[in-house]
Amino acid sequence: MDEGKMDENEWRYHGEGNKSLVVAHAQRCVVLRFLKFPPNRKKTSEEIFQHLQNIVDFGKNVMKEFLGENYVHCGHPLSRPVSSIPLGFFRKLTLFSLLCFPESRCDKDLDTLSGYALCLPNLARLQTYRFAEHRPILCVEIKPKCGFIPFSSDVTHEMKQKVCRYCMHQHLKVATGKWKQISKYCPLDLYSGNKQRMYFALKSLLQEAQNNLKIFKNGELIYGCKDARSPMTDWSELAHHLKPFFFPSNGLASGPHCTRAVIRELVRVITRVLLSGSDKGRAGALRSGPGLRGPPVCEASPFSRSLRCQGKNTPERSGLPKGCLLYKTLQVQMLDLLDIEGLYPLYRRVERYLEEFPEERKTLQIDGPYDEAFYQRLLDLSTEDDGTVAFALTKVQQYRVAMTAKDCSIMIALSPCLQDASSDQRPVVPSSRSRFAFSVSVLDLDLKPYESIPHQYKLDGKIVNYYLKTVHAKDATVMSTRFKESEDCTLVLHKV
């Protein structure tokens, strides 16, 4: 990409997260990612460039090794400051950000001084051509979250080994006003590999998208949710957008039946794509570890509860194909071998060492470099604590990588196959009435900060305690009332 003169008319606001803001090019399949920092943490231009380089190195040397090179797109920092970016362009971005992003997450300032940015492919497009194709593109972004229940013996709350983190956290988020209602989505259903459970999980995401699902049409957001006050989740409107993709002959009438048919096709296509794939990453190196232990079903999953009420057992894991992205992502998530309860004392051990020897921070690679040596140390899956700082550091780094995988997003780009698609080398997925060329990518792969571990420890306790005090206590009260009622209604037969 040209790093000289930048025409602000060629770029448009694309989206943002808590740590960055993204603009997309009108013609090329590229985006620029500008960093955001808390007002009290201003960084020099050199520090910002190194921060961007660390993001690239971690993606290339760690996540690409685990997930596969076709799924991970590292990008590159612009090699020198883009000094010619008009200041007015940044002002427009900042204003647009304030209008579009939740107020609760507008506590960081956009880096407008260094001029550095990360140049990446636009993952809302098919990852084949450098320029935007003149054909309709549909993109589904899914943030699947953690797909397993902790199996560590360090877990002290029994409930954590029955109910997944996501389902517990939902109750706290609704109570604090983050979302209006609890989602029926449970990550364990999506990661189960069982199509019935995966269908339910995806439909639940469509019903209550929160910030775990977004749909783009030709790069524009048509379905999603920024926060509780600004949902974009109208199924009939979504079906109107999607109908030309899944029913191109227009033989389907409008109305509820049409909406259900279109949503059903979307869910089936996404499921097929998620179960596909043969990209070779090195996640296989993790298979010698503890494996997928713990319960295969979350007790709080509405899917599981519904079947239990019918006296049926929940279908267990059918097993994800080992080449698919969900399987690889789950393997990386399971680098969290000890849970935050077992990890936090090891973090404190590293902290005490750094307090005594602060100059060792660079040697321990807390802030990088994220190179091959860093990756190799992640493959040590032992859980026997020998009391050393080296053991503690390895578990801390594994936890940071696992948390990154738990919070990543999967981008599925779909485009109707052209009639003469014989020369098209991209994978194809069928639907009832059409066929789609598709590409699958992962984003949000910045390594989670070392400094966030105390926050994660406190948040974990807060989530579990709230769930135990409210939901579980309520369930226990209901059961107790039912038992008392059965006592009061006991029929006593006297001998005549």
Residue 272: which of 430, 67, 479 has the closest Cα? 430
Is residue 102 domain-shared with residue 153, that is, in the same domain?
A: no
Rounded to whole angstroms, the Cα distance separating 428 from 411 reads: 16
Rounded to whole angstroms, the Cα distance separating 456 from 285 reads: 27
Is residue 266 domain-shared with residue 342, that is, in the same domain?
A: yes
Query: Which residues, 6 or more positions from 53, have their beta carbon under 8 angstroms from its beta carbon?
Result: 77
- DSSP H or E segment with residue 474: helix 473-488
> What does the block give as tokens for 473?
């206590």
In a domain? residue 407: yes
Using only the alpha carbons of the chain, give its radius of gyration: 24
Predicted structure pTM score: 0.88
pLDDT given for residue 487 in this prediction: 45
Helical spans, DSSP H, in 357-427: 372-377, 389-406
Is residue 212 domain-shared with residue 337, that is, in the same domain?
A: yes
Omega into 369 within 30° of 0, i.e. cis? yes
Is residue 76 domain-shared with residue 179, that is, in the same domain?
A: no
In a domain? residue 128: no
Rounded to whole angstroms, the Cα distance separating 206 from 198 reads: 12
- Cβ contact 271:198 at 8 Å: yes
In a domain? residue 109: yes
In a domain? residue 496: no
DSSP-assigned letters across all residues of 16-67: E-SSEEEEEESSBSEEEEEEEE-TT----HHHHHHHHHHHHHHIIIIIHHHH
Is residue 337 domain-shared with residue 286, that is, in the same domain?
A: yes
Q: At which of 122, 154, 174 does a domain end?
A: 122
Burial class (CB in 10 A: 0-12, 13-18, 19+), 110: middle
Rounded to whole angstroms, the Cα distance separating 42 from 134 reads: 42
pLDDT given for residue 382 in this prediction: 93
Is residue 305 domain-shared with residue 342, that is, in the same domain?
A: yes
Rounded to whole angstroms, the Cα distance separating 185 from 298 reads: 11
Residue 398: which of 277, 278, 285, 279 has the closest Cα? 285
pLDDT given for residue 329 in this prediction: 96
> What does the block give as tokens for 48?
């910002």
Is residue 198 domain-shared with residue 80, that is, in the same domain?
A: no
Q: At which of 96, 122, 148 does a domain end?
A: 122
Instruction: Please tell me the total number of residues recorded for the chain in this structure.
Output: 496
Residue 336: which of 142, 159, 164, 162 has the closest Cα? 164
Q: Decide: helix, strand or coil at residue 234.
A: coil
Rounded to whole angstroms, the Cα distance separating 416 from 428 reads: 9
Is residue 177 domain-shared with residue 111, that is, in the same domain?
A: no
Is residue 191 domain-shared with residue 310, that is, in the same domain?
A: yes
pLDDT given for residue 103 in this prediction: 55
Is residue 146 domain-shared with residue 112, that is, in the same domain?
A: no
pLDDT given for residue 225 in this prediction: 72
- DSSP H or E segment with residue 222: strand 220-225
Query: Which residues, 6 or more positions from 189, have their beta carbon under 8 angstroms from its beta carbon?
Result: 197, 198, 200, 201, 204, 298, 301, 303
Q: One digit per residue, pLDDT tens: the chain, 496 residues?
A: 555 556 667 788 888 788 888 888 887 888 889 888 887 777 888 899 999 999 999 999 999 999 999 999 999 997 654 544 566 666 666 666 655 555 555 567 777 777 788 999 998 877 654 444 567 899 999 999 999 999 899 999 999 999 999 999 999 999 999 999 999 999 999 999 999 999 999 999 999 999 899 999 988 889 987 555 555 568 889 998 999 899 877 666 667 788 899 999 999 999 999 999 866 555 555 654 445 566 789 999 999 888 888 777 767 666 899 889 999 999 999 999 999 999 999 999 999 999 999 999 999 999 999 999 999 999 999 999 999 999 999 999 999 999 999 999 999 999 998 765 555 577 899 988 889 999 999 999 999 999 999 999 999 999 999 999 998 767 655 544 444 444 444 444 445 3
pLDDT given for residue 482 in this prediction: 43
In a domain? residue 469: no
> What does the block give as tokens for 164?
């997944």
Q: How many domains does the chain have?
A: 2
- Residue 57 belongs to what domain range? 11-122
Is residue 237 domain-shared with residue 315, that is, in the same domain?
A: yes
Q: Which residue has tokens 């002959």?
A: 249
In a domain? residue 473: no
What's the distance, CA 170 to chain centroid? Answer: 15
Phi, psi of 350 (to 5 degrees): -65, -40
Rounded to whole angstroms, the Cα distance separating 157 from 273 reads: 36
In a domain? residue 223: yes
Rounded to whole angstroms, the Cα distance separating 96 from 100 reads: 6
Question: What's the CATH code of the domain at 44?
Answer: 3.30.200.110
> C-alpha distances in angstroms, 160 versus 67, 143, 165, 325?
27, 21, 7, 26
Is residue 73 domain-shared with residue 165, that is, in the same domain?
A: no
In a domain? residue 459: no
Give the strand order in the sheet containing 428-430: 231-232, 220-225, 213-217, 138-142, 409-416, 435-443, 428-430
pLDDT given for residue 230 in this prediction: 52
Q: Decide: helix, strand or coil at residue 310.
A: coil
Phi, psi of 472 (to 5 degrees): -65, -40
